[in-house]
Structure 1
Amino acid sequence: MPKYEQPEGLPARLLSSTGMIDACRERDFSKIFELAKTRGGFYPSLIARRCDMTPSRVGEVLTGKRVIKEMSVIERVADGLRIPGHMLGLAQREWETPAALSTDPATPTSPVLPVISERADPVNTLPGVDLDSILAVASGPRLSPSTLRALHSSIEDYWRRDDQHGGEALRPAVVGQLRYVVGMIKEASEGEFRRSLYSVAAELARLTGWTYFDARQYSQARVYFAEALQLAKAIDDHQFMANVLACMSLQGTYEDRPADAVALSTAAQDSARRHGGTPRVMAMLSMREAFAHASMNSHSATHAALAEAHRQFEQISDADPDPAWVTYFDEPKLIVDTGIAHARLGEADAAEPLIADALRREPESNHRGRAFHSFWLATTQLQRGKVEQACHTATAALETATAVDSERITGHLREFHQRLAPFCKEPAAIAFEAQLRATLR
């Protein structure tokens, strides 16, 4: 009789299921253990061994008589069942990082596949059960210029839809495509196509990180940003690495880690500068540095970074080999970001006209951008004592925000409501609060 082989970890299909994702987000270990038992082949005695717990304690957790709250136990469960750290709000676990990504100079630096592929089971990573998906898997990847064009086109579409509606609903599709591209990398031979696939995978990983960042799920965002860095590093795409570092810098300003934000933005500029960063790239990175300094309320450093951003922008030429991911940084974006940097410093007189001008030119379809910039315009108007006008602008932002799924935007609107506290008896403030409660309840 063949010996029964114990599972290495929970199946990828179970880890990606809605029930497991929700249970992990809520740290409902009774549900996690139940799913592990019924759908993962992990019976209580095996859970106990893997997680260094007693069988009786596992039984108590299963029946809801005991709740796991100790961080050390949560980490043992993650490691024992091979639950990725971000699912439980933990840092990336050591077993999630391939040894080939070691920073030891003696370690070979040959390209490696991202973490997501290391734990993939071919049976559990099928793109779907519809006919087209089955035929695509059966025929294998077809690597051609048209394949790459299609992948880049889908990424552009994802970003457009993210701007219009937010990334929450898009994320499963983006992650699925990331897994699919990783599978193509495994099948591709060394050469330009393989390098291009790494580039596509890096873009998809960054987009996934961005959707988590916009949802204010910062630990998950860091996991995918790190994934994007690893993929870009594997092909020595240092400009894209700078782009990812800039995203992480912006996240640092939201997490109240301004020193980290400055360090990340500086590292991004250093990386891009050493590897042929175009003026548009350097202007965007300098603007991220300005945001980082503004979050520290450092006026002189912020103004210096803004001046550098404008200096670099003036040097832009049509002949520049700009990467596709930086083309969004046009003149209206430069203007509005300059206004936001001034607003972060409380320099409302300089900020308001810049943000208002950019908002007038904002496409109607960019719901998140319009809501975000309306929030900052309302903030500067409030700083200048224009309470009624500020509430009117914030109400417009609130109406736009209903069309996009973005916790970052709703968080800003709640922040504006808090700033209205000194004016809470004003009719405009009362009306805005009522609208806020009705919309974001």
Structure 2
Amino acid sequence: MPKYEEPSGLPVRLLSDPEMIDACRERDFPQIFSLAKRRGGFHASLIARRCDLTPSRVGEVMKGERQIRDIGVIERVADGLRIPGHMLGLARREWETPKALRADAAHVEQRGPLVVADQRPAVARAVPGVDLDSILAAASGPRLSPSTLRALHASIEDYWRRDDEHGGEVLRPAVVGQLRYVVEMIKETSDGDLRRDLYRIAAELARLTGWTHFDARQYSQARTYFTEALQLAKAIDDRQFMANVLACMSLQATYEDRPADAVALSTAAQDTARGHGGTPRVMAMLTMREAFAHAAMNDPSAAKAALAEAHRQFDQTSDADPDPSWVTYFDEPKLIVDTGIVHSRLGEAATAEPLIAEVLQRGHGGNQRGRAFHAFWLATTQLQRGNLDQACHTATVALESATGVGSERVTGHLREFQQRLAPFSKEPAAVMFESRLRAMLS
């Protein structure tokens, strides 16, 4: 009797089948699992083992009794069944590149881009190579002055503004390059005050890089850079910035469906800032992250206690407070809309709707991603209240804002809203929204 061999992944013929392509594009996991079982040789227990799920959960998904929305679980399904990342709206998976090519890529990353001379565009021939660029930078040496530091801080502010307007995917190479440049300057600088300022700038750049990965739902890379930011801030004992990074990691944990970790990280952030210059605005922002985490755990009592503390802290803010620049975004509208989002997460739509609607009506300047997020949450509360037409109209506002922003988090929320429309799939408003969403995703 021939020995049974488990399939290493779904066969190419199935992955290229229009039925599977459509199921992946819609993230229709009942259909994906069914096709994997019927035509890919993956029985339910094998799917469970490969995707790090329980067999009962796989069975419930296949019956349509449970949904898969968490991006971490979606990534495990992609890796377990060997579904290419682009089919599920994910970044390219590491296993999609053969080991030999990954090794070559690592070598190229260390040495600079490999360019075939005869195929280079004419303009590239006038640009120095990476190695030469590094040599020239080393020869000139760091030319540090207060104006240099101000310029670096100004560039970070500009990066954040453009991240809000367009998303961070395109910005990331420039930010990473500047981060590595500043780290090299730290190594070559002996002046204590200048080194401290450079550490602070490097920490801000590392956090920004982590944020761009988080916004793209590339969570492993985000953790790497958040950890680097934490270490850079710790090197100069900047407890407030350490708390800021921990708050970012707490928010990411809520997206990864790790609410207990999110609570621990948010409370650690508060403990880190408390007694080390944490202004009322800083403490209000950190406590709001705790409220998010408790709401993700569906703990209304703890979430509302954290909300009350966030509002109490915010009421103590003053223009005279020495607030760090990275927390100035947490203003009154942000406090109000975040309060509404916490209530929405708790299923308290009647309380949430007017709060989110108020801030959405105020406008967001150039922050297209913020407008898209808030429109999504308003649409969610309207759907919770049974106002289908209004919810779909508001979700379309979110979709329109999302078209100008490269943010997988925004796209993920829009897909989540689409899944919530399943009971109304034949209603005209739902059909129209789904049509527009498909057009955007294509």
- Shorter-chain TM range is 0.7 to 0.9
Q: Which residue of 1 aligns with 2:98?
A: 28
Give the Å deviation of 1:396.
Answer: 1.2
Give the Å deviation of 1:27.
Answer: 4.1
Q: Which residue of 1 aligns with 2:412?
A: 411
1:129-173 Cα offsets, whole Å, 9 max, x none, are 5xxx87654321111110110000000000000000000000000
Q: Which residue of 2 aligns with 1:142?
A: 143
Query: Unaligned regions of 5+ residues in structure 1, if any?
Result: 1-20, 42-122
**Distance between the aligned counterparts of 2:387 and 2:92, measured in 1?**
43
Q: Secondary structure at the match of 1:400?
A: helix
Q: Check conservation: 1:23, 1:29, Cα contact below 8 A.
A: no
1:64-103 Cα offsets, whole Å, 9 max, x none, are xxxxxxxxxxxxxxxxxxxxxxxxxxxxxxxxxxxxxxxx
Q: Which residue of 1 aligns with 2:199?
A: 198
Q: Which residue of 1 aligns with 2:400?
A: 399
Give the Å deviation of 1:124.
Answer: 9.0
Give the Å deviation of 1:32.
Answer: 2.3
Q: Check conservation: 1:23, 1:32, Cα contact below 8 A.
A: no
**Distance between the aligned counterparts of 1:300 and 1:409, measured in 2?**
29
The amino acid that maps onto 1:32 is R
**Distance between the aligned counterparts of 1:428 and 1:437, measured in 2?**
14
1:312-345 Cα offsets, whole Å, 9 max, x none, are 0000011111011101100010011101111111
Aligned pairs (5 A) from 1:5-404:
24=94, 26-33=96-103, 129=133, 136-404=137-405
Superposed CA RMSD: 2.2
The amino acid that maps onto 2:102 is I
**Distance between the aligned counterparts of 1:124 and 1:230, measured in 2?**
31
**Distance between the aligned counterparts of 1:39 and 1:187, measured in 2?**
23
**Distance between the aligned counterparts of 1:356 and 1:39, measured in 2?**
47
Give the Å deviation of 1:412.
Answer: 0.2
The amino acid that maps onto 1:145 is P
What TM-score comes out, normalization by structure 1 length?
0.73
Give the Å deviation of 1:34.
Answer: 5.4
**Distance between the aligned counterparts of 2:354 and 2:144, measured in 1?**
50
Q: Secondary structure at the match of 1:274?
A: coil
Give the Å deviation of 1:423.
Answer: 1.1
The amino acid that maps onto 2:99 is F
Q: Which residue of 1 aligns with 2:432?
A: 431
Give the Å deviation of 1:26.
Answer: 2.8
Q: Secondary structure at the match of 2:273?
A: helix
- Are residues 237 and 34 of structure 1, via their aligned partners in 2, closer, same or farther at CA, if it must alter by over 3 Å? closer
The amino acid that maps onto 1:401 is A
The amino acid that maps onto 2:226 is F
Give the Å deviation of 1:424.
Answer: 1.1
**Distance between the aligned counterparts of 1:35 and 1:187, measured in 2?**
29
**Distance between the aligned counterparts of 1:143 and 1:300, measured in 2?**
52
What TM-score comes out, normalization by structure 2 length?
0.73
Give structure 1 regions of 4+ aligned residues with deviation exceeding 2 angstroms: 21-28, 30-41, 123-126, 133-138
Give the Å deviation of 1:24.
Answer: 4.1
- Are residues 38 and 247 of structure 1, via their aligned partners in 2, closer, same or farther at CA, if it must alter by over 3 Å? closer
**Distance between the aligned counterparts of 1:233 and 1:364, measured in 2?**
34
1:278-310 Cα offsets, whole Å, 9 max, x none, are 000000000000000000000000000000000
- Are residues 22 and 297 of structure 1, via their aligned partners in 2, closer, same or farther at CA, if it must alter by over 3 Å? closer
**Distance between the aligned counterparts of 2:257 and 2:215, measured in 1?**
15
Give the Å deviation of 1:190.
Answer: 3.7
Q: Secondary structure at the match of 2:266?
A: helix
**Distance between the aligned counterparts of 2:93 and 2:380, measured in 1?**
38
**Distance between the aligned counterparts of 1:281 and 1:34, measured in 2?**
45
Task: Give the count of matched residue pairs.
Answer: 336
Give the Å deviation of 1:274.
Answer: 2.7
- Are residues 191 and 398 of structure 1, via their aligned partners in 2, closer, same or farther at CA, if it must alter by over 3 Å? same
Q: Check conservation: 1:23, 1:31, Cα contact below 8 A.
A: no
**Distance between the aligned counterparts of 1:195 and 1:39, measured in 2?**
29
